[in-house]
Homo-oligomer: A and B are copies of this chain.
């Protein structure tokens, strides 16, 4: 293993700090093809599934930790850079008051539909025009939990590589495949192979309990305020409805995806 060399940065105006802070904005992430993830647990999860940061940023004065040492080793081995900075600067970079003392810069993944292998998993999650990065990250986390293959983002969704989405995913951004496509790209792709498209709907829908789910099952939810366009719902193989006992007529999008995905999981297993 090569020797671990660290570069120290103590000034807010350092170009590397500016670069790292710029990654909070989508246009800069896109230009650089990288994203920022933070937290020892998340970076360790990433490392365990083969994702090593190009750049590891650590707060000075942290107590030694075997997982930090392992991260440093992996980064050094893969030719990455290790930066040591002040806790204040690290806070500025991640935009969080109480940073966990470590962050990493990762190369963005291929998010083309063509890269998805639908035979890999029995459940896939699909989100249409999902605007809230927290919801998006939560869907990734739920996908990991139900053993989904990944999350397909249709139309104009939040950026899965934003700090907020990565944080809410609790590391699932590294374990779930992510694809981005328009509806006009997605539907032909879906119909080019096996796949049941399912959405929660009030239109001509079956009760969601024990509906005839079939693998690979693509569980789709729509935009937080508009829901799915009617034509998208009508293109589904199965529309299901969940009980709504109160005065509201919808669930939070990430919640609806989870309740439905767990039902699909149970249905496919019986």
Interface assignment of A104: CB less than 8 Å from any CB of chain B? no
- Select one of B142, B245, B246 contacting A251, CB under 8 A: B142
How far is the CB of A248 from the nearest CB of chain B, in Å? 5
Interface assignment of A22: CB less than 8 Å from any CB of chain B? no
Given contacts A251-B258, A254-B252, contact A246 B209 (CB under 8 A): no
- Select one of B141, B209, B255 contacting A248, CB under 8 A: B141
Task: Tell me which residues across on chain B come within 8 A of A175, comparing CB atoms.
Answer: 246-248
Interface assignment of A259: CB less than 8 Å from any CB of chain B? yes
- Select one of B49, B145, B263 contacting A245, CB under 8 A: B145
Interface assignment of A162: CB less than 8 Å from any CB of chain B? no
Interface assignment of A147: CB less than 8 Å from any CB of chain B? yes
Task: Tell me which residues across on chain B come within 8 A of A155, comparing CB atoms.
Answer: none
Given contacts A138-B255, A255-B258, A258-B259, contact A145 B248 (CB under 8 A): yes
Q: Is the interface of A mostly helix, strand, loop or mixed?
A: helix
How many chain A residues touch B (CB < 8 A): the figure is 36
Total copies of the chain: 2
- Select one of B48, B142, B251 contacting A145, CB under 8 A: B251
How far is the CB of A178 from the nearest CB of chain B, in Å? 14
- Select one of B144, B168, B247 contacting A48, CB under 8 A: B247
Measured CA separation A266–B243 after assembly (Å): 9
Measured CA separation A48–B246 after assembly (Å): 13
Q: Is the CB of B141 within 8 A of A247?
A: no
Interface assignment of A12: CB less than 8 Å from any CB of chain B? no
Which parts of A244-270 form the interface with B (CB within 8 Å)? 244-248, 250-252, 254-255, 258-259, 262-263, 265-266
Interface assignment of A172: CB less than 8 Å from any CB of chain B? yes
Q: Is the CB of A262 within 8 A of B242?
A: yes
- Select one of B45, B144, B246 contacting A172, CB under 8 A: B246
